[in-house]
Amino acid sequence: MTRGALTLVVLTCACGGSGGQGTGGETAVERLAPGCIEMGLPPATLACTGLYTDVMAKRLAPGVEPFSPAVPLWADGADKERWIRLPPGTTVDASNPSEWSFPEGTKLWKQFSRDGRRIETRLWQKVRDGFWVDATYAWNDDQSAADRSNGGDIPLGQGTYHIPTQDECEKCHRGRTEHILGFDEVELGLPGATGLTLARLVAKGRLSPAPASTSLKIGDDGTGAAAPALAWLHTNCGVTCHNANSNSMAYAAGMVLTLNPVELDGRPVSRLAPLRTTVGITVNTPDWNGRTRIIPGNPTISLLYQLIANRGMGNQMPPFASSEVDVEHVAQVEAWIRKMPLASVVVDAGSAAVPVAVGPPDADGGAPDR
C-alpha cells in the first residue's frame, strides 16, 4: 500500500461550480464550504475534505453517511463519530470477506471528542487503486474550524491530548491492505453496529458480492462468555496487528485474533483462529519466552490478559496509542478465560502447582503447534 506525498495529486475544492465527472461519479469541483479553494491533497483544512457543507453548523455533506462498528476501537475513553462517503454508483468489492476493497474516491472520517469538545478529525481518502492519502485535523478552541496537524501533544483541561503523527497512524493502519479500520464485514455485521451497517450496505446495493448473511453471530465455546471477548479482541488486537496480513506489525507472532465472517453463523467457536492460536500456546520471543498466551481458568497468569490489563512501555497491548486500560471490556476477557475448563496438565510454577492448558487439538487430533 502506498501513501502519497501531498503534492502528487491536485484537487480543487470550490464553492459552487459543476466541473466534469471525476472517479465514481464525483464532480471534479465539489460544492464545499464557502471560500474553500485548495491545491494539494489532502487539503489543509477539514472544511475542504467534503465532510461538511457548513462547518459551523456541522451539517454533513450529501452522500456522507454515519456508521458505528459493533465494538469500537478503544481510545482511552474518547467519544468518536465516524462517517463514510462512497462515490455515487460504486460498490465495495467484498469478494474477500476479510479484506474489503474500496472504490476510488472513497472517503472516511473519524472524529474524537472529550467532554463534548471536538479535538481531532481524521481523514482517509482513496485516490486511485492502491493509493490512499490521510490527514488529521485539529479543532480550534471555539470549534469553528479544524486545520491539518502534524501530530503531537496539545493542552486539554489539566493535562494533554496526543494527536498521532502519520508514522504512528501507519503502525496500526498497515495491518489492512486498504488501511481502513472499523469498516468491515465483522464489525458492521455483529449486533450493536449502527448507521451504515452490513444489512444497510446490502440493501443499498453497495457490496459486491453480497454476503450470505447480514446478521452475524459469534457462537459459544461452552463458557457462555466467548462472544463479547472475541469481538473485543477482533477489533482491538486483530484488525490492526494480530491478523493474517503480512504487512501487519504482529504478523510474525502467528497469533491471529481476527474473526472470519463466514464462520460467524452461530457455530461453536472452538476451532476459530483466536482460540487455536492462544489457548495453551506458548510464546517463543525474548520478552515472553515460555509464557502461555491463555491458560484456561487462570487469567491472572495468562500472558494475553496481563498485557491488555496493564499499561507501561513494553508491558502492554496494544503497545502504543493507549495509556488507559479499557476496564469494562478487559473484564469480559478475564471472565471468559476464568470460565474456561481447567486443563489436566499441571506444572511446578515456583511454590505452587499451576494448571496449564494443553490447548485445543489440531484438526488431525494432534497436539497444537507451538
As a whole number of angstroms, the longest Cα–Cα distance in the chain is 77
CB atoms within 10 A of CB 360: 18
Which residues is 121 bridged to in the sheet?
Answer: 111, 137
Task: Output the pLDDT for position 316.
Answer: 77
Closest to 216 (Cα-Cα) out of 263, 184, 172, 254: 263
Q: Mean pLDDT over residues 230-254, rounded?
A: 91
Task: Output the pLDDT for position 251.
Answer: 86
Write out 302-363 in H/E/C secondary structure. Answer: CHHHHHHCCCCCCCCCCCCCCCCCCHHHHHHHHHHHHHCCCCCEEEEECCEEEEECCCCCCC
User: Is 50 exceeded by the pLDDT of residue 3?
Assistant: no
Task: Output the pLDDT for position 144.
Answer: 94
Percent of the chain with pLDDT over 90: 61
Given a contact cutoff of 8 angstroms between Cβ atoms, the answer to whether 165 and 233 are in contact is: no
Break the chain into its structural domains and give their ranges. Answer: 2-200, 227-356
In this prediction the pTM is 0.83
Phi-psi region of 266 (alpha: psi -120 to 50; beta: other; left: phi over 0): left
Spatial CB neighbours of 300, under 8 Å, sequence gap ≥ 6? 306
Q: Greater confidence, 323 or 144?
A: 144
Distance CA 311, CA 324 (A): 7
Given a contact cutoff of 8 angstroms between Cβ atoms, the answer to whether 296 and 359 are in contact is: no
Closest to 231 (Cα-Cα) out of 334, 333, 82: 333
Given a contact cutoff of 8 angstroms between Cβ atoms, the answer to whether 261 and 216 are in contact is: yes
Average pLDDT, the chain: 83
Distance CA 333, CA 319 (A): 18
Q: Mean pLDDT over residues 287-302, rounded?
A: 93
Residue for grid cell 503523527: 165
Q: Mean pLDDT over residues 104-117, rounded?
A: 95
